[in-house]
Amino acid sequence: MLETAVMDKPLHSNLEMVRPLRQGEIVEGRVVGLGKSALFLDLGPQGTGIIYGRAFLEEKDSLRDLKMGDMLSVKVMDIDNEEGYVELSVREAGREITWKKLHELKEKEELFKVKVLGANKGGLLAQIEGVQAFLPVSQLAQEHYPKVEGGNPNQILKELQKFMGEELEVEILDLDPKEGKVILSEKSKERTKMKELLAKFTVGDVVEGEITGIVEFGAFMKFGNIEGLIHISEIDWQIIEDPSLYLKVGETVKAKIIDISNSRVSLSLKALKEDPWKEIETKYKKLDVIKGKVTKINPFGAFVEVEAKIQGLCHISEFGTREKMEQKLVSGNTYDFQILDINIQEHRMSLRLVEPFDSAQGKESTPLKTAEEPKAEEPEK
């Protein structure tokens, strides 16, 4: 038998309508009995509940601070145990109430402050209502985003560790009670502010600002109180692999607004430069043979510089395997290529390597069409 204490008179009378309890529901009861290893609650017309065993040991320190008459929220674990009591749990109730609160915060998109307790290469760690929460780097406000050149993970971690102990205003982006995960975002407040600031601008506007950060995928530029992104593909018309070779932090540049969406602004430097592809159609035609310099070899082919800021692609399918491609092409060398296709709108040129003699077949390759020279006019007779 359980050790029990003297209990007060129940809160209910036998005349009251009794609604059956359901296992798993959260109920409230008044403390009517205290023991060394058990606590009793009057659940009104639904009977008497008990917290004992593991459920008592898990919360014994807080339960022993309770006094007769105190009210307590609990979760129903068993409607009628062997002793005839309703078996209850405080911890399970607390967990469910906590997740309910978190769900309500998410639904309301409510902003609240959290203290940064830790950091890893992916973001910042915090706690809400005793539940561990994670704020990914991608969900940091732009002013807090670690603008690390080259995207070095160790350097990013050092930048994130600077937030340890600070409070950030966030909202709940996503949660999963089963996995015990809460994902935070710092961008809600920023989005509202950005909407107001961006209302003064439209796509096509040219703005002047300062380069505030350079990352592997582009550069951040601040104009007024707005910070926009210049993607690596929008820095210049030529293919760029390292933005830091073309832009420097603190440099003042002009850029064109090419997109405003989701409170973010995308900028372009190349949109203010002459498009080198405009004249290509008059210079080159399909099946023309041209000279080109191999600038880079990738798993899917070789990039070939036809002229300044104009690059074509010699696809790996022209060789069969990367090994064969690398046997025939060396980065930095110049070769003859035939134009297979030109797409001015997409700034794309497809090429194939011109080989005067195909050693694998033991015969000359198919004759190629070359760019036609204008015929000299015959003198009048």
- Helix/strand/coil (H/E/C) assignment for every residue in 60-79: HHHHCCCCCCCEEEEEEEEC
Is the same domain home to 1 and 104? yes
Mean pLDDT of 327-353: 89
- How far apart CA 61 and CA 162 sit, in angstroms, is 36
Is the same domain home to 114 and 44? no
Q: Does some domain include residue 373?
A: no
Q: Does some domain include residue 297?
A: yes
Say whether pLDDT at 93 is over 70.
no
Domain that holds residue 65: 1-108
List Cβ neighbours of 119 (8 Å cut-off, separation of 6 or more): 125, 157, 160, 161, 163, 164
Q: Does some domain include residue 166?
A: yes
The better pLDDT of the pair 243, 264 is held by: 243
- How far apart CA 160 and CA 123 sit, in angstroms, is 7
Is the same domain home to 9 and 62? yes
Are 259 and 205 a contacting pair, CB within 8 Å?
no
Q: Which two tokens stand for residue 233?
A: 């593909």
CATH of the domain at 12: 2.40.50.140
Please, which pLDDT band fits residue 362 given cuts at 50, 70 and 90?
A: very low
> What H or E segment, with its residue span, contains residue 380?
none
Is the same domain home to 133 and 41? no
Say whether pLDDT at 339 is over 60.
yes
Is the same domain home to 57 and 33? yes
The per-residue pLDDT for 247 is: 92
Domain termination site, one of 132, 156, 186: 186
Mean pLDDT of 27-38: 80
Q: Which two tokens stand for residue 228?
A: 């926009």
Say whether pLDDT at 366 is over 70.
no
The per-residue pLDDT for 360 is: 39
- In sequence order, the β-bridge partners of residue 112 are 170
- In sequence order, the β-bridge partners of residue 50 are 40, 87
Instruction: Name the percent of the chain lying above pLDDT 70.
Output: 84
Say whether pLDDT at 206 is over 90.
yes
Return the DSSP state at 46.
Answer: G
Pairing of strands 131-136, 181-185: parallel
Q: How many CA atoms lie within 13 A of 59 on its CB side?
A: 20
The per-residue pLDDT for 70 is: 82
Please, which pLDDT band fits residue 57 given cuts at 50, 70 and 90?
A: confident
Q: Does some domain include residue 192?
A: no
Say whether pLDDT at 175 is over 70.
yes
Say whether pLDDT at 267 is over 60.
yes
> What H or E segment, with its residue span, contains residue 123?
strand 123-128
Is the same domain home to 61 and 127? no
Is the same domain home to 324 and 284? yes
Are 98 and 130 a contacting pair, CB within 8 Å?
yes
Q: Does some domain include residue 120?
A: yes
Q: Does some domain include residue 378?
A: no
- How far apart CA 293 and CA 303 sit, in angstroms, is 8
Q: Does some domain include residue 19?
A: yes
Radius of gyration of the chain (CA): 35
Of the candidates 247, 291, 284, which has an alpha carbon nearest to the alpha carbon of residue 268? 247
